[in-house]
Amino acid sequence: MTGYYIIIIISMLVSWYVSWKLKSKFEHYSNVHLRNGLSGKEVAEKMLKDNGINDVQVISVPGQLTDHYNPADKTVNLSEGVYMQRNAAAAAVAAHECGHAVQHAVGYSMLQLRSKLVPVVQISSNLMQYVILAGLVIMASTRSFENPNGNTTVLAIGVIMFAFTTLFAFITLPVEYDASNRAMKWLKDTGTVTQEEFIGVKDSLKWAARTYVVAAIGSLAQLLYWGSLLLGGRRD
């Protein structure tokens, strides 16, 4: 299991660094106030209106960086630090979440695919660690001279479940990048932000996207590790 712990530690360290960098960037660009004086809520409402979306509500939710778009009830949920703030960071986040609303409205294929995977991923996320642990125990306890690898059926099920969560993480990447690209294009084309403010928007969204990249790579590294145990039939 040494290899697994190394992967986990490296993933945690990289994830911590990217998260810290994102919060640092958000705080920095929170001091770049918009010349037009629009709040995050007003930026979101303007982007939705400009894209012909009239059935999505912009609401405030507690917490920091808890912003998200909920396709189930068609709401753009903006954190307290974004909803009423009038700066480049708030504009970036608000427009990004509206980017997801636009994806939903136009039927963006990758968003639709991710939505279809949600039920499977929820079940897999809740059960896979227990299934993998049980699979390792069964594999170790059933080894014999005739069958040196032991029974790997349960472990294989666990690895397949993990594969779904990894697939979900990678499908999330184009969804997030596309939402950011839609946000930046709209902010720039409409003149909602100045060139100086746009630099802050672009930098903020760049670091936000990297959190998803780190999560996807970390998930893939773990999947490859469990897959190697399944194929090799042994632990290091």
Residues ≥6 apart with Cβ < 8 Å to 232: none
Please give the positions annotated as active site: 97
- Cα separation, 188 vs 123, in Å, equals 40
- Cα separation, 209 vs 116, in Å, equals 22
Answer yes or no: is pLDDT of 235 > 60. no
Cα dihedral 203, 29, 217, 158 in deg (nearest 10)? -140
The structure tokens 């294989």 sit at 156
pLDDT above 90 coverage of the chain, percent: 82
Per-residue b or e along 143-170, where b marks 16 or more CB atoms closer than 10 Å to that residue's CB: eeeeeeebbbebbbbbbebbbbbbbbbe
Answer yes or no: is pLDDT of 201 > 60. yes
List the alpha helices (DSSP H) in 53-194: 80-83, 88-106, 109-141, 153-189
Summarised one tens digit per residue, pLDDT across range 128-171 is 999 999 999 999 899 888 788 789 999 999 999 999 999 999 99
Residues ≥6 apart with Cβ < 8 Å to 94: 40, 41, 43, 44, 47, 58, 67, 76, 78, 82
The pLDDT score that the predictor gives to residue 229 is: 86
Residue range 203-220: mean pLDDT, rounded: 95
* Closest alpha carbon to 213 in 223, 221, 224: 221
Per-residue b or e along 7-24, where b marks 16 or more CB atoms closer than 10 Å to that residue's CB: eeeebeebbeebeeebee
Answer yes or no: is pLDDT of 204 > 60. yes
Return the DSSP state at 107: T
The pLDDT score that the predictor gives to residue 216 is: 96
Residues ≥6 apart with Cβ < 8 Å to 184: 95, 198, 201, 202, 205
- Cα separation, 88 vs 94, in Å, equals 10
Answer yes or no: is pLDDT of 233 > 60. no
The CB-side HSE value for 177 (13 A sphere, CA atoms) comes to 10
The pLDDT score that the predictor gives to residue 236 is: 41
Return the DSSP state at 193: S
